[in-house]
Amino acid sequence: MPDPTEEKTGESVFLFALSTCGMCRKVKKLLGDLGVEFDFVDVDLLEGAEKEAAKKKMRAWDPRSPFPMLIINDSKCIVGDEPELIKKALGK
């Protein structure tokens, strides 16, 4: 699983998603349509320690661990299908 906190050049965008979540698919599509490079993980497809690590990272941002959860530059968290908030946070 990619680490959403690892140091990268430029903008770091990481999405915690579920493979069965319609809102998650919408956010993935929006990011793609905006030409934003991003990493993501479908948490429901993880197992064991990887799944627990993902949940722990999510709880650090929001104890409820809602989906989708978009982390931008390890400084901003956007929960849900919020196109305008996402565009604003990404400067699009």
Span 7-44, pLDDT tens digits: 444 689 999 999 999 999 999 999 999 999 999 999 99
Please, which residues bridge with residue 15 across strands?
40, 70
pLDDT tens sequence across 53-90: 999 999 999 999 999 999 999 999 999 999 999 999 99
Residue 2 has pLDDT above 80, yes or no: no
pTM of the shown model: 0.86
Structural domains of the chain, ranges and CATH numbers in brackets: 13-89 (3.40.30.10)
DSSP helix/strand/coil, 71? strand
- Which helix (H) or strand (E) segment is 42 a member of? strand 39-42
